[in-house]
Amino acid sequence: MLVDKLISKIKNYENILLMVHVEPDGDTLAATVAFYIALKSLGKKVSMVCIDEIPKPFLFLPQIKNIQKDILFGDFEVIIVIDCGDLRRTGFPERLKKFAKVFKNFINIDHHPKNDLWKIANINIVDQGASSASEIVWEILKKLPVELNCDIATAILTGIYTDTGGFKHSNTSPKTLEIAAELLAHGARLKTITKNVSLNKSVAALKLWGVALSRLHKNQYLQIVSSVITRQDLDDCGATYYELAGVVNLMNSIPDSKAAILFFETPEGNIRASLRTEKDSVDIGKIAKLFGGGGHKKAAGFTIEAELKLNDTQWEILLK
Ligand SMILES: [Mn+2]
The per-residue pLDDT for 146 is 95
Weakly modelled stretches of the chain, pLDDT under 50: none
The per-residue pLDDT for 20 is 98
For residues 147, 150, 151 and 157, what is the CA-based torsion angle, rounded to 10 degrees? 110
Domain 2-198 CATH superfamily? inorganic pyrophosphatase (n-terminal core) (3.90.1640.10)
CA of 164 relative to ligand 1 center, distance in Å: 9
CA of 317 relative to ligand 1 center, distance in Å: 28
Those residues with Cβ within 8 angstroms of residue 106's Cβ, 6 or more apart along the chain or in another chain: 78, 79, 81, 96, 99, 100, 120, 121, 122
CA of 289 relative to ligand 1 center, distance in Å: 18
CA of 83 relative to ligand 1 center, distance in Å: 5
The per-residue pLDDT for 91 is 95
Collapsing DSSP states into helix, strand and coil, what is residue 263? strand
Q: Which fold has domain 203-319?
A: Diaminopimelate Epimerase; Chain A, domain 1 (3.10.310)
CA of 314 relative to ligand 1 center, distance in Å: 33
CA of 248 relative to ligand 1 center, distance in Å: 16
CA of 160 relative to ligand 1 center, distance in Å: 8
CA of 309 relative to ligand 1 center, distance in Å: 32
Inter-residue contact 219 to 226 (CB < 8 Å):
yes
Inter-residue contact 271 to 92 (CB < 8 Å):
no
The per-residue pLDDT for 1 is 74
The per-residue pLDDT for 82 is 97
CA of 161 relative to ligand 1 center, distance in Å: 10
* E strands, 159-258, in order: 217-219, 224-229
Q: Of 150, 116, 111, 115, which Cα lies nearest the Cα of 132?
A: 111
CA of 200 relative to ligand 1 center, distance in Å: 21
Taking the C-alpha atoms of residue 6 and residue 106, their distance in angstroms, rounded to an integer, is 11
The per-residue pLDDT for 48 is 98
CA of 315 relative to ligand 1 center, distance in Å: 31
pTM of the model: 0.82
CA of 104 relative to ligand 1 center, distance in Å: 25
CA of 113 relative to ligand 1 center, distance in Å: 11
CA of 210 relative to ligand 1 center, distance in Å: 27
CA of 213 relative to ligand 1 center, distance in Å: 26
Which residues hold their Cβ within 5 A of ligand 1, which is an ion? 27, 83, 132-133, 163
The per-residue pLDDT for 259 is 95
What residue spans define the domains of the chain?
Answer: 2-198, 203-319
φ, ψ of residue 264 to 5 degrees: the values are: -145, 150
Report the Cα–Cα distance between both ends of the chain, in Å, rounded: 48
For residues 183, 248, 253 and 85, what is the CA-based torsion angle, rounded to 10 degrees? -50
CA of 30 relative to ligand 1 center, distance in Å: 10
Those residues with Cβ within 8 angstroms of residue 25's Cβ, 6 or more apart along the chain or in another chain: 55, 83, 162, 163, 245
Inter-residue contact 144 to 10 (CB < 8 Å):
yes
CA of 163 relative to ligand 1 center, distance in Å: 6
Inter-residue contact 34 to 152 (CB < 8 Å):
yes
CA of 132 relative to ligand 1 center, distance in Å: 5
Other Cβ atoms closer than 10 A to 257: 20
Q: Of 93, 64, 239, 221, which Cα lies nearest the Cα of 154?
A: 64
